[in-house]
Structure 1
């Protein structure tokens, strides 16, 4: 709804749409930057639209599926890299070491990929695994992490496409 100040008119929906688009863009950034929650930011964009722009076009099916999708994507973050390493014979700690590697090494160039590799490799060496096995498990962690990013990129894009289809 526009607000008219006589010499200046302001339409609040432009601001709210800007916030929605910003949240959607940040959700993509969250795919590779630790600490930026990708799926929750996407959901925040949906909520801003629903509560501040228009509550009609998004039905209960949309909300039900989006809540499930957000929960699934958040679970994928913690499980994908560690699960891949575990499948390749990794130790118990790989489920924790892989995400910690992302957090500790994200500041380095390619740290989001090198971090899980380094921490899982170090953990496997600590557990006295041969270097070749440790490298295989660490590489599997990176493949799992990259696969997670690709899957989440597709899911984020499909969810936003459905959103724009519903509100158009």
Structure 2
């Protein structure tokens, strides 16, 4: 049974990394599952309260970073909340509607923010393109931030397993 927990932990961790780039796969829940499967392998008492607290903080930061980077990227340029939600919808629909791997996310975030801003009443073409670019930069910032958080989390896992 041990090998099952290890394999499930690795698969969920891989899904968490993929979910950083493809938001259709929720990276934070996949990361949590990878930790749960690891704890089922080692025993929940193997890791101390510091480990679980640190991992919990990292997961919360992963959840918050997505929204904050998109929100900041769009609103800093003057976009509305509708543009932020449009960007989120574009990130989710992009992979389903645009057949270009990886670019579908970037295009989806860009177009989604523009459509959201259009719905909110934006009409200036230059401003719309800036809002789309802000959404794109926010998405890229979020990806980088979540990769860093997952890397830090895995360093904590490795350190806890070694000691």
TM-score using structure 2 length: 0.88
CA distance in 2, matches of 1:158, 1:68: 11
Is residue 28 of structure 2 the alignment partner of residue 39 of structure 1? Answer: yes
* C-alpha contact 1:101 1:115 (8 A) present in aligned 2: yes
Aligned match of 2:114: 121
* Cα-to-partner distance string for 1:82-115 (whole Å, 9 max, x where unaligned): 3211110002312211111111112321111111
Aligned match of 2:37: 48
Q: Look up the SS of the partner of 1:30 in the other structure.
A: helix
- Structure 1: runs of 5 or more not aligned: 1-11
- Structure with greater Cα Rg: 1
**Counterpart pick for 2:153 among 151, 159, 162:** 159
Q: Look up the SS of the partner of 2:24 in the other structure.
A: coil
CA distance in 2, matches of 1:89, 1:43: 35
Aligned match of 1:88: 77
* C-alpha contact 1:82 1:98 (8 A) present in aligned 2: no
CA distance in 1, matches of 2:38, 2:114: 44
- Matched length: 157
TM-superposed deviation, 1:166: 0.8
* C-alpha contact 1:125 1:131 (8 A) present in aligned 2: no
CA distance in 1, matches of 2:122, 2:56: 42
Aligned match of 2:47: 58
Aligned match of 2:104: 111
Larger RCO: Structure 1 or Structure 2 (Cα < 8 Å, ≥ 6 residues apart)?
2
**Counterpart pick for 1:147 among 128, 131, 141:** 141
List, as ranges, runs of 4+ consecutive aligned residues in structure 1 with deviation greater than 4 Å. Answer: none
TM-superposed deviation, 1:81: 1.3
* C-alpha contact 2:77 2:131 (8 A) present in aligned 1: yes
Greater share of helix residues, 1 or 2?
A: 2
TM-score using structure 1 length: 0.86
